[in-house]
Structure 1
Amino acid sequence: MAVRPYYADLSAAYYDLVTAHDRSLEGDLDLYASLAEPGSHILEVGTGTGRLAFGLAERGFRVTGVDIAPTLLDQARAKLAKAPKDIAGRLAFVHGDMTALNVDGPFAAAIFPFFTLAHVPKGAALRNIFARLAPRLAPGAPAAFHMPQEESLSGPPPPPDQPVLLAPVDGGTLCLFVKERRSRPRSAATTRPWNTSSSRRKGDANAPPRSG
């Protein structure tokens, strides 16, 4: 499974800023923390820059975070290097493909947050994920998957000139636009090319469309 361009360049640099403003993520840390007892080991697939992994570690969980995007893992590991020793000692970040999951269990719970599973089309790739996940879970362990609601994807996207995010950054403003949205009802995969611009005092730096 290849790394989507969205997670490999400019958008990756602003990943934490975008997730911090995404209201669909409100309360997700509390939900995932409720799946297992503090002190137990949680597997996070699609860990990104470690937003949830660090939050869970602060609550006493041990977390193994897996991601296929090196740019995001680099950020997670940079945070790890600066984290208090007791928090850092509960965390491990692993580069890996969720369709060929290869981490040691057993885990008390597994989480696939922030639409992680929505990047995978139905079929062999999706079956591989569950086949690789099941033997790594302790008996009775739950697994949670954050998926987009179909009705939210079937309607028209926002106007292309209307930003869906305006956030201060680097002395300017990060502007995020949805160029188009394509929904495939028979597939778990969702594609949304974005236009991202970082408006600075001396002009605009526009990035080309990217998939996410």
Structure 2
Amino acid sequence: MGTIDTGIAAAAALFSGVAAMAAYKTAKEANRTSASVAQIERDRWHKEMTPQVEVRFDDSRGYPELLVQFLGPAPLMRIEAALRIRDDKERSGSQIGGGPTAQQVADVIWGPYRFRPGVDGADALGRAVAPVALLHHGHTRFALEPTLAPSWYASTQTWRAEHDGKQLRLWVQCSAEGHKPWLLSADVSTATSGLTQLQRRVVAS
């Protein structure tokens, strides 16, 4: 092979390599775009499938209860809902010397009601209940009771005056087969019986 032929062959190899690299980059970018579009679609579908859950405070039977109903969307058919009471505000800041410890503060349910400990799957503090299965348009009830004033409070009367009639704040984590969980929140009025529509806040990872 002559010098010219060798040069032509080398140039052809170079152009071939450049073309191959360009094709690789194009394919890689296409895959990245495709993956991005697919993720956007999955996120959209996940948002559309956010469970519609209604929570109601009810004392019509002579004692306080929390009614939870799964309204849809119908394609989910069945969800598991795990309820947890949130405090009235963030209380994890620095503690005053000689006052309650961070753990003591965390053990207090800062709000008007707690789940009745040991009933309906409630834990010992009455902060959370075990997950419960709900079918489409199905509902369940959870027993409630007034929260307890912490030992360092001036009096039970002071505690009740500060919390009676206030909203019961909740986290509700919903899960369904084939979907990532949803984390919902609600502020439920306890002044009078009524419905509160849960609002989607964050998607649990």
What is the TM-score normalised by the length of structure 2? 0.21
Specify which structure has the higher proportion of strand.
Answer: 2
**Relative CO higher for 1 or 2, CA cutoff 8 Å, sep ≥ 6?**
2
What is the TM-score normalised by the length of structure 1? 0.20
